[in-house]
Copies of this chain bind each other. A is one copy, B any other.
């Protein structure tokens, strides 16, 4: 017994958490209860029930079947149900009347045959993508009502009267559901869709930032357990958890956009709000997310640039990530407040600039490293020469090597050296000299170039993510134009 009590209490805890995480769930449940008891009482206490008789159950049924979480879904189902019932009633009454003139045997054949044709036909029509998206439920209800009226008609029950009663009770059920769904603490699919897109953008921004921050940070070496995280066996990877939502939300976005298109204007959303444009933003965002996935997998791949090497490009990597993340954050704010920010494009431009800069820098440095590493290896072969002369010599040698470019790059390197309190010198020295005792120069070189390529890959992917950001910015711009966001007119004028 004690165990049973424990189980039950843990179930209640689970339920409590469910309601606590999202209050709207509890509100929705209470709304359904309210609508149901209201319709029951109305049917029971109304003197009309003697006339309507058993058909009262249809009102109850309608409430249960059409009351969905969001107002848009309820409207979609309610309108589909009403319309489907109406059309089916017309068709079925016609066929019933026709078949009544035939004999009893023929009538059975007509009923069976018409049900077969209508059943197969409407089931098949439901495979049409357009019907499937918007009128699926309506077709089911059409088929349902049609079959029932035809069967009842055969049973000599006054089918016109029955149909009208049923239509009436269904209308009552629909009415009560819609009123409660729309007026009592409404849960709008449109708002949900907007929130989903906003939070996905924000999470992407965070995960991008964290991904790069982790790459350049001196955290304990990243563990190679990505496979477990990916396969859902552990869920302790904060970066993965953040972008995961954006990757898999495609189906949710589509259904929310569909339901939102059924909703009346409400709050900040006017009539004909361009819900389809949100889907475009979602698609663009997902392509950005795929880039972040690739970045994240770089973090966990086998060939890793050594920590010291990553430090050399620390500032540049962080700058690109910060700019790109702030673009995403800006877009998220734009959609949230429905106000165009004039500086988003600028931030995007500076992100692209920073990305190009990073790319140039890395290709430049790669050359610097490669042309000097053989040399530095030769020099450091007699070890314990002290860090400073080695790094100095390294720079001066490469500076002397050839003209313009090399000079510029080495000046840059020298600047970094001074800047970072000689850190860079020491970095380079340790990078090139410390593994020497344990490995010969050939494997060291191979390792070094592999790790450089790993860094270059990370940087290229980051640049690619910034390029994809353009798509997202375009999609949001498009949305802002179509939805007449505030500040949009101003921007237009300024052009």
A44 within 8 A of B: yes
> Given the interface contacts A406-B374, A457-B456, does A29 sit within 8 Å of B112 by beta carbon?
no
In the complex the two chains form, what is the Cα distance from A128 to B12 in whole Å? 11
Of all chain B residues, the one with the shortest Cβ separation from A53 is B155
Q: Are A25 and B127 in contact (CB under 8 A)?
A: yes
B362 and A284 contacting across the interface, CB-CB below 8 Å: no
Is B60 a contact of A364 with CB atoms below 8 Å? Answer: no
Q: Of the 9-residue stretches A293-301, A310-318, A384-392, which lies at the interface with chain B?
A: A293-301
Which residues of the other chain, B, contact A108 by a CB distance below 8 angstroms? Answer: 41, 44-45
**Do residues A15 and B64 form an inter-chain contact, with CB atoms below 8 A?**
no
Contact partner, A29, options B25, B124, B151, B449, Cβ 8 Å: B124
Contact with B along A216-252 (1 / 0, CB 8 A): 0000000000010011100000000000000010110
Complexed CA–CA distance, A150 and B124 (Å): 37
Q: How far does the alpha carbon of A403 sit from the alpha carbon of B375 in the complex, in Å? A: 12
Q: How far is the CA of A30 from the CA of B248 in the complex (A)?
A: 35
In whole angstroms, how far apart are the Cα atoms of A467 and B366 in the complex?
Answer: 25
A258 part of interface (Cβ distance < 8 Å): no
A453→B313 CA distance, assembly (Å): 16
CB distance from A492 to the nearest CB of B (A): 23
B contact residues around A231 at 8 Å (CB): 280, 283-284, 471, 475
CB <8 Å contact, A404 and B60:
no
Stretch of A139-147, A186-194, A337-345, A483-491 contacting B (4+ beta carbons < 8 Å):
A139-147
CB-CB < 8 A to A280: which residues of B? 231
**Chain A 118-130 near chain B by CB (<8 Å), digits 1 or 0:** 1111011101100
Q: Are A56 and B155 in contact (CB under 8 A)?
A: yes
For window 261-276 of A, CB contacts with B under 8 Å fall at: none
Q: Would you call A65 an interface residue if the criterion is a C-beta within 8 Å of the partner chain's C-beta atoms?
A: yes
CA distance A123 to B67 in the complex (A): 10
Q: In this assembly, does A8 line the interface, its C-beta being within 8 Å of a C-beta of chain B?
A: no
Contacting chain B: which of A70-78, A413-421, A438-446? Answer: A438-446
Assess the A445–B111 pair: CB atoms within 8 A: no
Partner of A446, one of B15, B363, B378: B363
- Against B, the Cβ 8 Å flags (1 = close, 0 = not) of A330-368 are 000000000000000000000000000001101110110
Determine if B405 and A301 form an interchain contact, defined as CB atoms under 8 angstroms apart. Answer: no
Q: Does A54 contact B (CB under 8 A)?
A: yes
The yes or no answer to A34 lying at the interface (CB within 8 A) is yes
Query: How long is the Cα–Cα vector from A227 to B156 in the complex, in angstroms?
Result: 63
Identity of the chain B residue whose Cβ is nearest the Cβ of A443 in the assembled complex: B405
Whether the pair A405, B442 counts as a contact (CB closer than 8 A) is yes
Q: If A33-B123, A64-B144, A151-B56 touch, does A227 touch B291 (CB 8 Å cutoff)? A: no
Would B117 and A57 count as touching, CB distance under 8 A? no
Instruction: Give the residue of B294, B298, B442 whose beta carbon is less than 8 angstroms from that of A404.
Output: B442
Contacts of A363 in B (CB 8 A): 446, 449-450, 452-453
Shortest beta-carbon distance, A21 to chain B, in Å? 10
User: A28 contacts the other chain (Cβ, under 8 Å)?
Assistant: yes
Q: Answer whether residue A168 sits at the interface, using C-beta atoms and an 8 A cutoff.
A: no
In the complex the two chains form, is B54's CB within 8 Å of A140's CB?
no
| Chain A 403-438 near chain B by CB (<8 Å), digits 1 or 0 | 111101000000000000000000000000000000
In contact, B43 and A446 (Cβ under 8 angstroms): no
Shortest Cβ gap from A9 to chain B (Å):
16
Say if the beta carbon of A36 comes within 8 Å of chain B: yes
Chain B residues, CB < 8 A from A32:
119-120, 123
Check if B40 sits within 8 Å of A303, measured CB to CB.
no
Q: How far is the CA of A468 from the CA of B294 in the complex (A)?
A: 11
**Nearest CB in chain B: distance from A63 CB, A:** 8
Give every chain B residue within 8 A of A283 (Cβ-Cβ).
Answer: 230-232
B460 A29 Cβ-Cβ under 8 A: no
With A37-B112, A371-B374, A460-B457 known as contacts, the answer to whether A128 contacts B64 (CB < 8 A) is no
Q: Apart from A44-B111, A248-B250, list 11 A-B contacts with CB within 8 A.
A: A18-B127, A26-B124, A36-B115, A36-B119, A60-B151, A231-B475, A287-B293, A363-B453, A366-B452, A371-B371, A374-B401
List 7 A-B pairs, Cβ < 8 Å: A37-B112, A231-B280, A231-B471, A287-B297, A290-B293, A298-B464, A374-B401
